[in-house]
Structure 1
Amino acid sequence: MSEATSSSISPPSSSNSILIPNLPDDIAIQIIARTPRFYHLNLSLVCKSWRSILRSPLFFTIRSQLDCTQVFLYINVRIHNSSFKWFVLDCNLTNPKTLSPIPSIPIQAIGSAFVVLGSKIYVIGGSINDVPSSNVWVFDSRFNSWEVGQKMRVGREFAAAGVINGKIYVLGGCLVDNWTRSTNWAEVFDPKIGTWAPVPSPVEIREKWMHGSAVIDKKMYAMADRGGVAFDPEDSSWGYVSTELDLGWRGRATVVDEILYCYDYLGKIRGFDAKEFVWRELKGLDSSLPTFLCGATMANVGGKLYVVWEGRGGGNQIEVLCAEIEVRKDCFGDLWGSVVWSQVILVIPGGSSIIQCLAIEF
């Protein structure tokens, strides 16, 4: 254990706490913190002091300092076009992998935007009874619970959202038919002060609907009804996405090693290199995945490309399948993928669909 790590860790607040007999509590916490997340529920049953420390911010800070964090994939599905359910996939377990249910948002809107900031998922806006909402729900993966977040300045549905330098940016998803919505067409949330603030934007780029968004090299790209917009918060500059990106971006996407991956209508996973302004097919997958991936969505899980899609189940059911793909760029600039594993992780009723998947490391 390094001196820096030991000096930054304090024992539990209770002076009477004894986590492990004959060991100082600051050493005991580090031992417990090294235990994989999968076993934390069992650890919480040992005694009250263990249960208390497992739910403390200090515990997760220590895990991060000790480089003991793990990656999890959270999946949101819509059941029968009515209710929404959330599940988590422990990506650290060996096969077979299965989803576990987690608490759902009391009221989840349609057309929300999703981002991950640290150990939290932010579900932003959406439509409730056909009215764009300014609500924000926050899921803290450390404690497996939802809380009400700070509302935006205007209601939005189908907005673009991304995280840059620890702040959440949202673009569009609202009509610009009055001064308030025009001024707040773009907003930024700073979690340190807990408030939303308007981001000045030129009139000509204020589209309503945003169909996809991603952050590449600390710049935000959002696809709109007509083309798309690009925003660089470092110098507050706005522009349009390149023609090449516009023509190739289809559906939900994710970024791995500064390459934007998406699934196109021809049944191919493709990657866009923003530095070279070129799309390339992800090679090496022809015999590893089905020809067509219905409802495919993607996430960067610890530097691996995870793809989640819908398949046919027995009777009136839908199988949710997932594949982990190692991706790399060769010396010629070509993109190659190798499927590590692929399997059914969930079965849902017919008429249901995958809404989003997001990765969190904690």
Structure 2
Amino acid sequence: MNNPVTSSPITSLPEDVAVDILARVPRCDYPRMSLVSKRFRSLVSSPEIYVRRSSLGCTEHCLYVVLYEWDGGVDRLYTLCWKDKDKGLVLIHGLPDMPRDRSFVAVGLRIYVFCEINSFSIDCTSHTVQHLPRLPVPMSDTVADVIDRRIYVIGYISSKSKAMVVFDTETQTWATKPGMELFDDVYADFQDNFVYDPKESKWETDEMLNSNFWGGNVCVVDDVLYFYDDFCDQELRAYDPERKCLGLVKGLDDLFAEMRCVGCGWAKIASYGGKLVLLFSKGREICCVEISLERRKGSQILGRVDQWSDHALIAGIFSLRNL
């Protein structure tokens, strides 16, 4: 006589009940949960679960990180989990390897990836890929950012000249506007920094920005530009474009002293729900630090370490590509 087939209690729950339960689970656990079964994968990527999360007040900010895995020679996408017992970076399964010559920008629940050959977007609810129209002109070494759900992409169109194009995320189309070509006779000096006004299609220089070398380790939080200098002083600086003032973020001396003590190999900062996240390497480990920011009277900004993970990712040698 054959034994009857039994099923897990949660798999037999009505869909609305299962959605209500899964909506209360931290978002960083969804990549693992999607591997449990086809039903779980469908539920955690459904619009209903995100509507329910919003009504329950369970919405979360998610940080995605691209790491180069030296063992496999590929760039892969991870997400950061801040759970008390399971802090760390979680690999997103089922995605193609990230292209080398590309730029990233997040808009809503999608990550847009722009490269010279094939651009695409990643749905962060289902971790599926949708191909985008090609760039209007072939561009290399691109950088991208978003203003009002429009993505501005700047890159080289020749060895000396740059151009900028705009991708409308609502219509999923490319557009160009007057003033978007950046000719080499103006932009040959890479030490110069420029500010672009999308309403006026106008470029301007900023003397305060040009008086300092910013490199590429920058991010914006609440309209303030932050720069982490990991080459010389290991300091976090903040620039307020409205007040035209530049200063050091105070309160992080112990953090930077610890980083110098362990001899971190590289470091990178990113904006994360009104806070900063700092990732740095320590031997074969990647560490994550969450930093809250407080703007005081005048131009002073105070930083405070809220969370720290010494073992965000272990076993393997990684280089950080993008946040």
With normalisation by structure 2, the TM-score equals 0.80
Match of 1:138 in 2: 121
Match of 2:281 in 1: 310
Match of 1:267 in 2: 234
Partner amino acid, structure 1, of 2:74? S
Checking the alignment, whether the CA contact within 8 Å between 1:267 and 1:293 is kept in structure 2 is no
1:174 Cα deviation after fit: 2.2
Determine if the alignment matches structure 1 residue 320 to structure 2 residue 286. Answer: yes
Which residue of the other structure, out of 299, 304, 319, is the alignment partner of 1:338? Answer: 304
Which residue of the other structure, out of 234, 238, 243, is the alignment partner of 2:203? Answer: 238
Distance 1:165 1:26 in 2: 34
1:226 Cα deviation after fit: 4.0
Give runs of aligned pairs for residues 163-182 of structure 1, distance below 5 A: 163-175=146-158
Give runs of aligned pairs for residues 62-77 of structure 1, distance below 5 A: 62-77=52-67
Determine if the alignment matches structure 1 residue 278 to structure 2 residue 245. Answer: yes
Compared CA separation, residues 319 and 114, structure 1 to 2 (3 A): same
Checking the alignment, whether the CA contact within 8 Å between 2:75 and 2:100 is kept in structure 1 is no
Which residue of the other structure, out of 55, 64, 86, is the alignment partner of 2:77? Answer: 86
Gaps of 5+ in 1: 1-18, 126-132, 211-222, 358-362
Gaps of 5+ in 2: 1-11
Which string of whole-angstrom CA distances, capped at 9 and with x for unpartnered residues, describes residues 121-141 of structure 1?
11211xxxxxxx142132211
Match of 1:299 in 2: 270
Match of 1:355 in 2: 321
Partner amino acid, structure 1, of 2:79? V
Checking the alignment, whether the CA contact within 8 Å between 2:195 and 2:204 is kept in structure 1 is yes
1:323 Cα deviation after fit: 0.8
Which residue of the other structure, out of 155, 158, 166, is the alignment partner of 2:141? Answer: 158
Which string of whole-angstrom CA distances, capped at 9 and with x for unpartnered residues, describes residues 192-249 of structure 1?
221111232265x4359x9xxxxxxxxxxxx972412221112222222x12213142
Instruction: Give percent identity, aligned residues only.
Output: 27
Distance 1:108 1:28 in 2: 33
Distance 2:51 2:96 in 1: 29
Q: Which moved more, 1:62-71 or 1:112-121?
A: 62-71
* Aligned residues between the structures: 302
